[in-house]
Amino acid sequence: MKERMNIVFVGHVDHGKSTLIGRLLADTNSLPKGKLEQVKRACRLNSKPFEYAFLLDALIDEQAQGITIDTARVFFKTKKREYVIIDAPGHIEFLKNMISGAARAEAAILLIDAHEGIAENSKRHAYMLSLLGIEQVVVAINKMDLVDYNPEVYENTKKSYSEFLSEIGINPIEFVPVSARNGINLITRSNLTPWYKGKTIVELIDGFRKVNDDSRNHFRMYVQGVYKFTDNGNDRRIIAGAVNSGIIEVGDEIILYPSGKTARVKSIEIFGRSNVKHAEAGMAIGITIDTELYVKNGELICKKKETPPHLSNRFKANIFWMGKNDLLAGKTYKLKIGALKTEMHVEKIETVLDASSLAVYENPGKVSRHEVARVIINTHKPIPFDLQGEIKDTSRFVIVEEYDISGGGIITEELKDSEPSS
């Protein structure tokens, strides 16, 4: 099976997002057989001009009616990969999935209209990408046909947008002059833009890095439980958990956080299997170790020779709130990262982004349902974790209010205890 990658397309309404997606589907031969002709025929029958954007509408309609099996997902294929197109920025579901890690976009195409220029929404979209930690961004400057493929328009748009983007920490891989409607610079470089020496949209998309390849990352496993049992008259203890990332082998030297205790892996136990020599991300396992250690639930097992996690009771995070009540600074909640559970409170709410309007508020005092916020969190004990972009499972947490999962977040920066917040 081909490698798969999630890409989000964002752009102000009417800047040509559906056209770009429709055109990519058609030009990479990713459409179901006969679809292009069918949509073209329907246009002729209704005497309206064909638009590539209709292809996307047609596919989504079909999915809504349950005709295609893979619901609400649009794919396109290149020689290298399959891409899942996420076309719902600003939608609550998208932000929730992004923050909770359920369906993370690994890269983004930001679309702006060369003719109309940068809209307020183009800025909000970029800000949203920066809050969500999407680092791989390509900007498509669309509708170049309406400005006669004038390099000056491209340069000016590129200059002013990249200045804004760098202020919020986004450094696009490339700005591509395109005409989605005419298929210019999408798959092959066009001689209508001889002054553009960069890559095409599809070449750039194929060049995106796969992020969060968990099995190749450092080993991490939060302890879920420690079970004692007697085996042939010997007392044995099994430390159980689900491997969050990396690989563990019999004989590896492990270190536990926050205690710093070390031991060697004596055996790896997987239900229903014998003589297991190694295990990797996604597997539920038990291990036995060569020393008698007091191991607690929620401790993080790492490998001694690999990069250690962060250890702190204070960090910055981006959270998505879906609680019934507003999230308030200073109030105690429960925080869970994998099998780790602890108490926490929010020390400071720095900014809030409204998921529907994408408006941003500074120092808002509270986070309401369906808002994304940049916050400083204090846990009541130091905890081991990783940061966004380092390891997926150990940088994501949920916030529990009473018994409900009320929010999810990604840790972006470790802060030292009582460090003044910037």
**CA 133 to chain CA centroid, nearest Å:** 7
Strand partners, 344: 333, 379
Q: Half-sphere exposure of residue 338, counting CA atoms within 13 Å on the CB side?
A: 29
- Residue 13 sits in the site that holds ligand GDP (CB under 6 A): yes
94: amino acid identity, one letter:
F
The reply on whether position 17 binds ligand GDP by CB under 6 A is yes
Total number of residues shown for the chain:
422
CA distances for 227 relative to 61, 220, 320, 372, angstroms: 52, 20, 35, 39
Distances (CA, A) of 42 to 48, 49, 117, 182: 9, 10, 33, 20
Q: Taking contact as CB under 6 A, which single stretch among the options 27-35, 178-186, 279-287, 384-392 is the one that binds ligand GDP?
A: 178-186
From residue 77, alpha-carbon distances to 30, 53, 209, 257 in Å are 6, 18, 16, 43
User: At closest approach, how far in Å is the CB of 101 from ligand GDP?
Assistant: 27
CB of 161 to ligand GDP, least distance (A): 17
Smallest gap from Cβ 53 to ligand GDP, in A, equals 4
- Minimum CB distance to ligand GDP smaller for 53 or for 128: 53
How far apart, in whole angstroms, are the C-alpha atoms of residue 367 and residue 204? 37
> CA 112 from chain center: how many Å?
22
Q: Dihedral (C-alpha) 414, 417, 421, 422: value to the nearest 10 degrees?
A: -50
Place of tokens 């949209």: 201
Q: Determine the Cα–Cα distance for residues 70 and 86; give it in Å rounded to an integer.
A: 13
Q: How many residues bind ligand GDP (CB under 6 A)?
A: 17
Distance CA 90, CA 10 (A): 9
Q: Which of 28, 130, 142, 193 binds ligand GDP (CB under 6 A)?
A: 142
Cβ nearer to ligand GDP, comparing 74 with 352:
74
- Give the distance between the most distant pair of CA atoms in the chain: 84
- Binding track over 363-402 against ligand GDP, x by CB under 6 A: ----------------------------------------
Indicate whether 303 belongs to the interface with ligand GDP (CB under 6 A).
Answer: no
Q: What are phi and psi of 206, to 5 degrees?
A: -65, -20
- Comparing every residue's Cβ against ligand GDP, the nearest one is 16
Is residue 179 at the binding interface for ligand GDP, with CB under 6 A as the rule? yes
Of 116, 145, 401, 414, which one interacts with ligand GDP (CB under 6 A)?
Answer: 145
Helices and strands, counts by H and E, the chain: 7, 25
Work out how close the CB of 30 gets to ligand GDP at its nearest, in angstroms, rounded to a whole number.
17
Q: Cis omega (within 30 of 0) on the bond before 364?
A: no
Contact segment (CB under 6 A) with ligand GDP among 67-75, 174-182, 186-194, 384-392 equals: 174-182
51, 306, 350, 414: which one binds ligand GDP (CB under 6 A): 51
| Site for ligand GDP contains 49 (CB under 6 A) | no
Among 5, 19, 245, 352, contact with ligand GDP (rule: CB under 6 A): 19
Q: Which of 124, 125, 143, 310 binds ligand GDP (CB under 6 A)?
A: 143
Contact flag: residue 15 with ligand GDP (CB under 6 A): yes
Site for ligand GDP in 318-337 (CB under 6 A): none
27 binds ligand GDP (CB under 6 A): no
Least distance (Å) from ligand GDP to the CB of residue 275? 56
Question: Should residue 14 be labelled a site residue for ligand GDP when binding is judged by CB under 6 A?
Answer: yes
Candidates 18, 130, 190, 200; binder of ligand GDP (CB under 6 A) is: 18
In sign, the C-alpha dihedral spanning 98, 91, 329, 323 is negative
Residue from 181, 220, 374, 396 touching ligand GDP (CB under 6 A): that is: 181
- In the chain the first and final C-alpha atoms are separated, in Å, by 46
Q: Is 16 in the site for ligand GDP (CB under 6 A)?
A: yes
Residues that bind ligand GDP (CB under 6 A): 11, 13-19, 51, 53, 142-143, 145-146, 179-181
